[in-house]
Amino acid sequence: MIQIQNLHKWFGNTQVLNDINLEIFRQEVVVIIGASGSGKSTLLRCINFLERAEKGKIFIDGQYIEPAKSNLNLVRQEVGMVFQHFNLFPHKTVLENVIEGPTQVKKIPHDQPVIMGRELLAKVGLADKADVHPAMLSGGQKQRVAIARSLAMEPSIMLFDEPTSALDPELVGEVLIVMKELAQEGMTMVVVTHEMGFAKEAADRVIYLDQGRVVESGDPEQIFNEPEEDRTKSFLSKIL
Ligand code: ADP
Ligand code: MG
C-alpha cells in the first residue's frame, strides 16, 4: 500500500532520515520504536507529505507521489494522522471538530457528515459527548475525538505519532483499545509508540529506528525476545 524507497531527509546539515526503505502492506499494523530524535516523527510526516524528503520516492497504492506535481491534499485524505497533542478546535463542539474535514475540505453537504460523525463518535465510545466542547473532555477522550476526526476523512491508512504519550497513565488504555479495534477491523496503521504491550498485541511488524536508519525489523516476538542487533538490545533494555 505504501512503498518507501531510499528516503533521505536533512534538516540543514543534519541528516534525519538515512536511506529508509520500507513497504507497508494493506491491513498491516507496523509499530515504529526508537529513541527520541531518531527520526520517527519525521518519517511519519514524510509519509503524509507534511515534510518533504530531499531524496527518495514514496508510492501510495502503486502511484509515485511527486511532491511538486501531485495533489498533496488528496494524498493527506488517504493518509490520516493522529498526533501526540490532539489539536482540536477549542471553539467548536466535539461533533463540529469531527465533521470539519468532510464539510470544509471535502465539501460534503452537512447532513451526511453529521450522521457519519455521530457514528464515529459512537465507535470511539463518545456518542454522548457530541455537543460539548473539547475543554470538557479528559485527554483520553480528546485523543479519541482526534481519532474519530481523522477517520471522518475515510483514510485508507492511519499514522499515529505517540498518540498516548501526552496522557495520564490511567487514560492510555482507552485510547489503545480504540486503536486495537481499528487494527482488528483491518485498518492499515503505522504507529509510533512506546507502548510495548500494544506492539506485542497488535503489531504485525516492529521497526527499530536509530539515527534515521532502520536498524532492525521483524515480528514483535522476534524483536522483543530475540533482537539481532546490539543497538536494538540496548534500546529495549532501557524501555522494557
Ligand atoms: P523522533 O520523533 O524520533 O523523536 P524527530 O523526527 O522528531 O525524532 O526528529 C529527528 C531529528 O530531527 C531530531 O534531531 C530533531 O531535533 C530534528 N528535527 C525535527 N524536526 C525538525 C525541524 N523542523 N527543524 C530542524 N530539525 C528538526
Ligand atoms: Mg517524535
Q: What is the pLDDT of residues 75-110, one digit of tens each?
A: 888 999 999 999 999 999 999 999 999 998 888 888
pLDDT given at position 6: 97
| pLDDT at position 72 | 86
Tell me the longest C-alpha to C-alpha distance in the chain. 55
| Cα separation, 134 vs 149, whole angstroms | 13
**Any ligand 1 atom below 6 A from CB of 34:** yes
Ligand 1 lined by 48 (C-beta under 6 Å): no
| pLDDT bucket at 73, cuts 50 / 70 / 90 | confident
pLDDT digits (tens, 9 = 90+) for 149-159: 999 999 999 99
Which residue type is seen at 200?
Answer: K
Instruction: Give distance in angstroms: CA of 107 to centre of ligand 1.
Output: 34
Ligand 1 site-directed mutation target among 7, 9, 11, 207, most atoms within 8 Å of CB: 11
Instruction: Specify the ligand 1 atom closest to the Cα of 192.
Output: 2
Any idea of the CA torsion for 54, 55, 61, 63, to the nearest 10 degrees? Answer: 90
C-alpha separations of 79 from 32, 52, 61, 76, 233 in Å: 17, 15, 11, 5, 32
